[in-house]
């Protein structure tokens, strides 16, 4: 009878080892839970809150700017007898050169992808800056218009000349048209999207 008892309920070193195992199994989940809580608490609350906001602002702002800007470019080029495909192929020519105009829909699709990538980058820059400079949200209309001017000057004064090795800031009528498009169709939709998503 004593042998049966010790077989069901171990005593001695085995019993002590089993006891320690049960105690550790109870303590470990509590430590894991506490550690997880500490890790979460170490993440700034505003970062957790701003993550979905930043996504919405960049998507909506970049999409709006991309659609409005390319639509204005289509209209402006159409008045000069050039097709939308020509506009998109012109964008792609920054990578493909003159071969872009022989690429049909493929090069046009590449041009569209490049165009919207630039729009999303422009929106991302504005959003990141607005997290530090609240005036970009508080005075979104004025700042958006000025941002459109800055984007135009950067693209036509730096990026395009470096890409195509010629000047783009002229003639005056083209500069005025480009500035107007970038103020109303690029800077403004970006700033308003950031302000809307920041509320």
Domain boundary assignment for the chain = 2-40, 46-198
Instruction: Determine contact, residues 187/142, Cβ cutoff 8 Å.
Output: no
Continuous segment of H or E residues that includes residue 19: helix 13-42
Nearest to 151 by CA among 116, 109, 111, 123: 123
Structure tokens given for 9 = 């309920």
Nearest to 73 by CA among 59, 58, 60, 91: 91
pTM of this structure: 0.73
Place of tokens 């135009």: 152
Which pLDDT does position 26 carry in this prediction? 56
- The DSSP secondary structure of 61-111, one letter per residue, reads HHHHHHHHHHHHHHHHHHHTT--HHHHHHHHHHHHHGGGGGGSHHHHHHHH
Structure tokens given for 115 = 């165009």
Instruction: Determine contact, residues 147/126, Cβ cutoff 8 Å.
Output: yes
pLDDT along the chain (199 residues), means of 10: 40 53 52 42 45 83 98 95 96 95 96 97 96 96 98 96 91 95 98 93
């Amino acid at each position: 009878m004593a042998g049966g008892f010790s077989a069901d309920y171990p005593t001695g070193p085995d019993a002590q080892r089993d006891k320690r195992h049960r105690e550790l199994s109870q303590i470990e989940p509590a430590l894991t839970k506490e550690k997880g809580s500490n890790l979460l608490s170490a993440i700034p609350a505003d970062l957790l809150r701003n993550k979905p906001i930043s996504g919405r602002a960049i998507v909506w702002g970049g999409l709006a700017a991309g659609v409005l800007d390319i639509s204005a470019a289509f209209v402006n080029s159409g008045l000069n007898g050039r097709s939308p495909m020509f506009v998109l192929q012109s964008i792609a020519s920054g990578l493909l050169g003159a071969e872009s105009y022989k690429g049909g829909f493929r090069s046009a699709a590449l041009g569209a992808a490049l165009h919207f990538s630039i729009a999303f980058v422009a929106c991302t820059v504005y959003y990141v800056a607005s997290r530090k400079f609240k005036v970009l949200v508080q005075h979104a209309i004025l700042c958006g218009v000025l941002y459109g001017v800055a984007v135009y000057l950067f693209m036509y004064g730096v990026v395009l000349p470096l890409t195509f090795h010629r000047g783009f800031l002229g003639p005056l009528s083209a500069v005025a048209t480009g500035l107007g498009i970038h103020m109303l169709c690029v800077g403004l939709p970006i700033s308003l999207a950031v302000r809307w998503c920041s509320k």
